[in-house]
A and B are shown apart, each in its own frame.
Chain A
């Protein structure tokens, strides 16, 4: 079952005298429950593609549709709501809100969604237990290690039960043990919750775990391999 359909997608930057085609005519689909990595050298267009997929940036042309909804047709405030209800984000630099505890960071989006306290509490506990941080629920980000912060970020990304999670170089700032641990957690949650995970990465460990590896160069897909 397709949840993301990308058709003839272009993102061209004209900020300098030289036109840069960061995304250069990509056609791509993602199925429900995929655990996919987008790989490629720096400047290949991985992050731009992820930003377009997440509705954080608008394409120059082409269309992205998520479960039949075309992102390009949504107005700014509707797009924000769409992201809140359908897309989870994990960033390279964790990007937790420093004044909130781990629990509060995880329930932040559920709060925006207007979910009840009971529902929030149950989901937060479930996710923080799943990422192994049930004993750190009241810790603020500054009291957590990089690996722990990224695990909270994963829990936050899944809190609203999104259709897919976009993770931009999630392991770039982590040591190998934390990376392994995080990947295991994400793989498990992918299987348990059926949530699609799409990574942009340089990290071979992530590539090894991914069940689909999409390689892009100069904004074009040069390979798309599915592993069994």
Chain B
């Protein structure tokens, strides 16, 4: 009789008790898996929104740009640079940008604006900017077109085909001043963006700021998040100074912090949940050993080495964990798949907060292997920890006392 078969049979000697313990693991794993999936899905949704709308997964800058964010640290984008970027595996698209500040004036109203010079087609591919147009058109054929965020347009008191003057500082420290015609009004979910953003065609922006062919950033998208680090490593190998590549998390530390602090809250909840489960398993194992003292004594008496006996008890503990964790994960799969395809809308204040942050108010789920593997690992570690108890019991086993029971 192999140890693992004997352990399996032992597990079902008291079916009801084993089933109750397995059920506690089952519900714990089910809850934890669904919760993890929801958390990871929400983070991923949040990150995707930010990454897709603004930063891209990776940005290439002049190495000192991020610290100073002035046109002085813009860089010249040439064919050689594009060729190098295109040769990196995992990059799906990239879009050039020239960003700076200016004052926008219409009649006697002046507002500070963040001017984004973009390649209309590439920008739309990356951020879906065209979908944000609520009035007018998306750039069009004319030069000196400008797209204004809705609140900014309202504050300036301008409408489609009105002109506004932009006044700023050019690349050489010169005054940059020009008139632009409002061709479209954009609406962003984030009120801060709605008050500040103005879009120019990249060529117009370069001309306006007197920095022909220069960019402040190249925004890169990759297949998925896991590709960010390998792509950055390859870019760093291929790009010489003064270029530097930054990942989204380096550019958005506050987002990373928010995700991390939320994740920490989840960890505390899961820790409490699994602690309860752990004590349930421990209680069962203690009962199983206590009820079988005579039998355990007999096994050692007739010649079973204590380590072999400990192995059987270890298998019993692990089996309980395995049955609970597998059934819990199997039960969680249809729930996760359902919500993966039918994200639940978040309404009320919570939904409004998400809208304000520029995030779709949806309860997103994730089905990455990590969501499931995490539970397997936790239960495995718990059972491993609990199996110390049978090991200690067996090491202290006194054959005579056990046989007398």
Contact = CB atoms under 8 A, between A and B. Distances in A.
Contacts of B9: 99-100
B251 interface: no
A59 to B, nearest CB: 13
B299 A83 contact: no
Given A91-B403, A108-B1, A83 B305 contact: no
Contact of B302 (A51, A57, A83): A83
Contacts of B305: 77, 80-81
Contacts of B299: 97
A109 B308 CA distance: 13
Interface in A92-121: 93, 95, 97-100, 104, 107-109, 111-113
Given A97-B299, A108-B1, A80 B304 contact: yes
Contacts of B1: 100, 104, 107-108, 111
B294 to A, nearest CB: 7
A15 to B, nearest CB: 12
Contacts, number: 61
Given A56-B399, A91-B403, A98-B295, A108 B302 contact: yes
A81 B304 CA distance: 8
Interface range on chain B (Cβ under 8 Å from partner): 20 to 34
A89 to B, nearest CB: 6
Interface range on chain A (Cβ under 8 Å from partner): 20 to 34
A81 B301 CA distance: 10
Contacts of A113: 303
A81 B302 CA distance: 9
B391 interface: no
Nearest to A88: B302
A85 interface: yes
A98 B294 contact: no
B298 interface: yes
Interface in B306-342: 306, 308
A84 interface: yes
Given A51-B400, A97-B295, A99-B6, A109 B13 contact: no
10 contacts: A54-B301, A57-B400, A80-B304, A81-B303, A95-B294, A97-B295, A97-B298, A100-B6, A100-B9, A107-B1
